[in-house]
Structure 1
Amino acid sequence: MDNNCRGRSNLQSFLDSTTPSVPSHKLPKSCCRALQEQLIGTDSVEFFILGDLWEQYYEWSAYGASVPVCLHNGSTVIQYYVPYLSGVQIYTHKAAAAAASRENSGNKSSGDSEYKKLAGLDAASQGFDLGRENAWRTSEHTRQLYFEFFESCSPYRRIPLLDKVLELAQTYPGLTSFKSTELSPASWMSVAWYPIYHIPTTPSVKELSVCFLTYHSLSSLFQDHIKGSMANDLGFIRAGKNGTKSEKKNYMSLPPFGLATYKLQGSLWTSFESGDNERINSLFSTASSWLKQLKAQHHDFNFFTTHCVSMRCLPCW
């Protein structure tokens, strides 16, 4: 058996290979007073810039993301997946938006004070309670929708993720300029991963045609919570790409909080010992609950859900 086939399932391999790792920056703890009690032992708040996040998809958008997949005979193939922007909702804090508006109107002192207050990411005021099971609850009156996009085209008519983001950013520049600390915890994105080819080529393996939807938070508030409750359970935390230990410290991974699959058949991708089926169900349930709470009509999620029954899925579009 190939050594690469030991120690983790193909589902874990996929998640590890497709989880973005972005350059991280830090805000002084003094700028985030509302989180001081939650930030025990730390002196700063970690954040990332959306433009850096999309940049992580540059090579994947051009060549596909390589995912080592162990076949039933013990050999390994490299399956390549192309990422598409499936859905995204970017929410800002209402009061912060109002503060920015007042700054533009000349009332800088008042606006600056209010913005700094919201920069603290007060979890309670944003409608979240990270200490309870309903940590994904959102509060409509505290957020303002800046931008949303839901792809509805066939995969064969889509353009890769980075190209799509750059196209959309021409009208909505915040897509590349926002910091994760400036976004409401309700902000999220979903990436659709479709297989394109595998190396070496092998006789037709239907199980390699599986497609995935991954859901990622765009807010700083949820990153530690997601890593603790999701990433550790999945058994992976992806650090900086091919970097040294010191370089990896300057990166933060954005593991998915939700997942949906399409054409997932047989046992190639999941391992009973790894508890993959339970994890898939848990991540799927979280994604479903998230969309319902935000009243988001996510076309790909609806397609995956309605076209897959008891692991028997209809062909792609």
Structure 2
Amino acid sequence: MGSDPSESWRNKSNLNSFLHKTTPFVPSQSLPKTFIRENSHWQPIGKDTVDCFSLGDIWDQYYEWSAYGLGVPVRLPIGETAVQYYVPYLSAVQIYTSKSLAALRNVGEDSESDSWSDDSESEKHSKSWDATSEDSSSEPDGSWPARDRLGHLYFQYVEYCPPYGRIPLIEKVTELARTYPGLISFKSVDLSPASWMSVSWYPIYHIPFRRSVKDLSACFLTYHTISSSFQDSMPGDSEKDFCCTIVGKNGKGSAAAVNRIPLPPFGLATYKAQENFWLDPESEDQERFATLYSAADSWLKQLGVHHHDFSFFSTHSTM
């Protein structure tokens, strides 16, 4: 197994440590270029295959984190270090694609095709989960030019329960996928650039235990794109450092290696996070946090989404 790029946290701030650790790495797959769709038309992309990933592989990254928590190394004010564990919850997700996609999928993918055909039920389900969202026909200032360019809204979910009433992310996805199997079976190249997910992270415990460290009660909200369309244009050099290859047991690369695609957060919101603990004043942390928060806010406004967790975090943020 190759070294974990996130181990470089020792030279970074607590915020960077958190962002590194919560970035999922999904196995890369190659598909024929004819599966790439741009601006509502199938377009050649100049090569025979394109790298992508399945939504099921994304959720697999959260399996152990949902069961045991994800450990994030942090520096304490007293000069020591600790590992703070967080449990991930599905905060929101929107999956957009083309209505014509079902006819273009391979024969035999019955469950996936069936999930596309029931447009009215999909829209009904979306409204039931996100009753306070703006009407799909509305166009707020700064929104996407036309709703039909977003693609077909296959599925959306917004969490409204308080943290103590939620179930871990992998359990929630499994529950939702019983009705909407595309939540697991679709691939990133099937999705419109408007597709995204948000994960809320709540602390559970830290090792070694320190009774007086209130800074470890911080909660986070991360936003990730789940469409291949944005994977080559993620901002920031730090995200590019995540590209990695997991080497096989024989220690060789090439065929023995498994390429993985990182899905670093493009947006972020915090709750109970103290600036002097999570941000390094001698770095660009403050600017980076402001950029990530602004990106999340802008994204939601463009899509006309009322994200309950984002609203709560924003009105209670200390950074």
Q: What SS is found at the alignment partner of 2:311?
A: helix
Q: 1:19 aligns with which of 8, 18, 23?
A: 23
Deviation at 1:6, TM superposition (A): 3.9
Aligned to 2:226: 218
The equivalent of 2:43 in structure 1 is 34
**Residues 68 and 138 of structure 1: CA distance in aligned 2, closer, same or farther (over 3 Å):** farther
Structure 1 pair 239–156 and aligned structure 2 pair: CA distance change class (3 A): farther
Separation in 1, partners of 2:22, 2:209:
21
CA-CA distance at 1:302 after TM superposition: 0.6
Conservation of the 8 A alpha-carbon contact between 2:35 and 2:190: no
Contact 2:18/2:72 (8 A) holds in 1: yes
* Residue equivalent to 1:179: 187
Structure 1 segment 256-295 matched on structure 2, within 5 A: 256-295=265-304
Q: Of 192, 204, 229, which aligns to 2:200?
A: 192
CA distance in 2, matches of 1:241, 1:204: 39
Residue 43 of structure 1 and its aligned partner are, at CA, apart by 5.0
Q: What SS is found at the alignment partner of 2:205? A: strand
* 1:153 matched residue in structure 2: 161
Contact 1:187 1:217 in 2 (8 A): yes
Contact 1:259–1:280 (8 Å) recurs in 2: yes
TM-score norm. by structure 2 comes to: 0.77
Letter in 2 for 1:186: A
* Aligned twin of 1:201: 209
Give the whole-Å Cα distance in 2 for the aligned partners of 1:267 and 1:190. Answer: 25
Post-superposition CA distance 1:261-315 (Å, at most 9, x none): 111114111112321111111011011111011111110001001223x54xxxx
SS for the counterpart of 1:186 is coil
Deviation at 1:203, TM superposition (A): 2.7
Q: 1:4 to 1:51 in 2, by over 3 A?
A: closer
Partner Cα separation in structure 2 for residue 199 and residue 18 of structure 1: 18
Q: Is the 8 A contact 2:35 2:189 kept in 1?
A: no
CA gap 1:9/1:254 in 2 versus in 1, 3 angstroms: same
Residue aligning to 1:84: 89
The answer to whether the 8 Å contact 1:16/1:238 transfers is no
Aligned-pair identity (%): 56
Number of residue pairs matched? 269
Cα distance per residue 1:39-67 (max 9 Å; x no partner): xxx65311111111101101000000010
- Distance in 2 (CA, whole Å) between partners of 1:56 and 1:212 is 18
In structure 2, the CA distance between the partners of 1:168 and 1:220, relative to structure 1 (3 Å rule), is same
Change (3 A) 1:252 1:71: same
Q: Which amino acid in the other structure matches residue 301 of structure 1?
A: F
**Partner letter of residue 71 of structure 1?**
L
1:55 aligns with 2:55: no
Q: Measured at CA, do residues 279 and 245 of structure 1 come closer, stay the same or move farther in structure 2, by a change above 3 Å?
A: farther
Encode CA deviations 1:180-222: one digit per residue, 9 max, x unaligned. 1111110100000011000000132111111111101111111
SS at match of 1:94: coil
Is the Cα contact below 8 Å between 1:19 and 1:238 reproduced in 2? no
Q: How does 1:228-267 map to 2 (within 5 A)?
A: 229-230=235-236, 232-233=237-238, 236-237=241-242, 239=244, 246=253, 249-267=258-276
Please tell me the residue identity of whatever aligns with 1:299: H
Match of 1:114 in 2: none
Alignment partners' CA distance in 1, 2:44 and 2:23: 26
Aligned residues of 1:27 and 1:44 also touching (Cα < 8 A): yes
Q: Which residue of 1 aligns with 2:315?
A: 306
- Residues 248/202 of structure 1: CA separation in 2 closer, same or farther (3 Å cut): farther
Alignment-mate amino acid for residue 20 of structure 2: D
Q: Which runs of no fewer than 5 residues in structure 1 stay unpaired?
A: 105-133, 312-317
Q: CA deviation at 1:24?
A: 0.9
- Please say if residues 23 and 265 of structure 2, whose CA atoms lie closer than 8 Å, have aligned partners that are also in contact: yes
Q: Does 1:166 align with 2:174?
A: yes
Aligned to 1:94: 99
Q: Cα RMSD over matched residues?
A: 2.7
The answer to whether 1:64 aligns with 2:69 is yes
Equivalent position of 1:125 in the other structure: none
Q: Which amino acid aligns with 2:190?
A: E
